[in-house]
Amino acid sequence: MSASGAVQPGPPGAAVGPSPTAAALSDTGPLFRPLSAEDEEQQPTEIESLCMNCYRNGTTRLLLTKIPFFREIIVSSFSCEHCGWNNTEIQSAGRIQDQGVRYTLTVKGQEDMNREVVKTDSATTRIPELDFEIPAFSQKGALTTVEGLISRAILGLEQDQPTRRAMEGAIAERIDEFIGKLKDLKQMASPFTLIIDDPSGNSFVENPHAPQKDSALVITYYDRTPQQAEMLGLQAEAPEEKSEEEDLRNEVLQFNTNCPECNAPAQTNMKLVQIPHFKEVIIMATNCERCGHRTNEVKSGGAVEPLGTRITLHITDPSDMTRDLLKSETCSVEIPELEFELGMAVLGGKFTTLEGLLKDIRELVTKNPFTLGDSSNPDQSEKLQEFSQKLGQIIEGKMKAHFIMNDPAGNSYLQNVYAPEDDPEMKVERYKRSFDQNEELGLNDMKTEGYEADLAPQR
């Protein structure tokens, strides 16, 4: 069943004041500031707007801010002092991500209902147990909770019920019955599954157990289909004819892109590099001349290995922090002493040192407002601060720990400082992938032998 009627037609208010972008640009400092309660200069822009409920003037407040995992967003809130109508929504102000994202949450209790959710316009929301779906672009973006999503759907289904009861009583009765099922979900009458599928990659569901792994939440990244790319207004590039083969090993390639922080034009350098005692990888580095932001990303230059790789390093000395490290996008990281697990695709591919990766992990946790900001609870903040302190002790060499890299694709690497001899503090295991791991890598549907014989009868 669709909840496409969950949004009032038209915007919450028709602006008659000055442009918010022009007003924000007139101030000094960056246009999008990080979300922080301590930033006194971060104030919303107020615009006198027309209320679409009573057609008198109300107020729209716009806040241009930056949230981790979503780049920049615009938070808008409309309120009318005459009739009491109010509405809030968000819009993504950053670029569309390289991949789509699908969040699958098993809701079992009230704690799950209170999870923070960022849902963009392009996201589709589904509850399989009720065969219920909110299609993409049928609602405005929202910064809410799981319970708020359900309440918003109930409100949308109820808004035209008086008219339906007068004209189509049977349909109105069925919708009333369905609304009752949604209200039962709000009261947690039974567990259910919530799926948010966003081809733009800009939606988010909170993990209240961060930085530990959330067993109730599954995050899947995927490549968009041509239909999804067209829905987002992305024009697929026409395939170009292959030119003669070039030797890329001795050449640094450059191509134009946009800075992921300030969105200004920048250049990305790409180089094919041979790592000793390992394999070839592609290193891409971007340096923004406008804001000074630097980033690097590593892609595997070869195929998926026949076996997965698990590398276990016992950190016993501060010199271990200087080991070179290659983490692919398919690699997960574990630190058992901290009960910490970093899932695949988080932080992307990196070619750095062990110290650099641990600092990136600490920054990922401490700079997330959902975990250590005003929206977090005191118990969670205390646990995360303790985690950050212990991680700092490991980086400084004051605490021994085990560092585990698990890569089903076999494309990750940790430097052996005793090479070509064995490292007494490092253990490298090769293992056969499970069916689920092959499924995540897309290998179960890939046939590399005998496929020509299957195509012959079709010809």
> What pLDDT score was predicted for residue 2?
47
Average pLDDT for the chain: 80
Does the structure show a pLDDT above 80 at 246? no
> What pLDDT score was predicted for residue 243?
47
User: What is this structure's pTM?
Assistant: 0.48
Surface-to-core class of residue 96, CB atoms within 10 Å of its CB (0-12 exposed, 13-18 middle, 19+ buried): buried
Q: What is the DSSP string of 15-31?
A: E-S--HHHHHHTSSS-S
Q: Does residue 47 or residue 10 have the better pLDDT?
A: 47
CA distances from 91 to 12, 96, 201, 372, 382 (A): 13, 12, 13, 24, 32
* CATH architecture of structural domain 100-232: Sandwich (2.60)
Q: How far apart are CA 17 and CA 13, in angstroms?
A: 11
Across the beta sheet with 142-145, what order do the strands follow? 142-145, 116-119, 204-205
Selection from 379, 416, 370, 98 nearest residue 275 by Cα: 416
The yes-or-no answer to whether 33-92 and 251-300 have a common fold is: yes
> What pLDDT score was predicted for residue 180?
93
Q: How far apart are CA 126 and CA 198, in angstroms?
A: 11
- For residues 119-145, one letter each, b for 16 or more C-beta atoms within 10 angstroms of the residue's C-beta and e for the rest, the string is bbbbbbbbbeeeebbbebebbbbbbbb
Look-up: residue for tokens 């804001």? 291
Each domain of the chain, given as residue ranges in start order, spans: 33-92, 100-232, 251-300, 307-441
Surface-to-core class of residue 212, CB atoms within 10 Å of its CB (0-12 exposed, 13-18 middle, 19+ buried): middle
**Three-state SS sequence of 237-284:** CCCCCCCCCCCCCCCCEEEEEECCCCCCEEEEEEEEEECCCCCEEEEE
> What pLDDT score was predicted for residue 34?
58
Q: State the fold for domain 251-300.
A: N-terminal domain of TfIIb (2.20.25)
Q: How far apart are CA 93 and CA 71, in angstroms?
A: 8
> What pLDDT score was predicted for residue 196?
95
Q: pLDDT by residue (tens digit) across 290-313?
A: 888 888 777 766 678 889 999 999
Does the structure show a pLDDT above 90 at 113? yes
Does the structure show a pLDDT above 70 at 337? yes
pLDDT (average), residues 118-134: 91
Query: Which tokens hold the place of 8?
Result: 């009032």
What is the percent of the chain with per-residue pLDDT over 70, rounded to a whole number? Answer: 79
Q: pLDDT by residue (tens digit) across 369-403?
A: 666 556 567 777 788 888 888 999 999 989 999 99
Indicate the pLDDT class of residue 179, thresholds 50, 70 and 90: very high
| Superfamily of structural domain 307-441 | ZPR1, A/B domain (2.60.120.1040)
What is the percent of the chain with per-residue pLDDT over 90, rounded to a whole number? Answer: 28
Selection from 45, 44, 46, 59 nearest residue 12 by Cα: 59
Does the structure show a pLDDT above 80 at 90? no
> Which CATH entry fits the domain spanning 33-92: 3.40.50.150, 1.10.287.130, 3.30.70.2700, 2.20.25.420?
2.20.25.420
Look-up: residue for tokens 């779906």? 133
Selection from 98, 89, 73 nearest residue 6 by Cα: 89
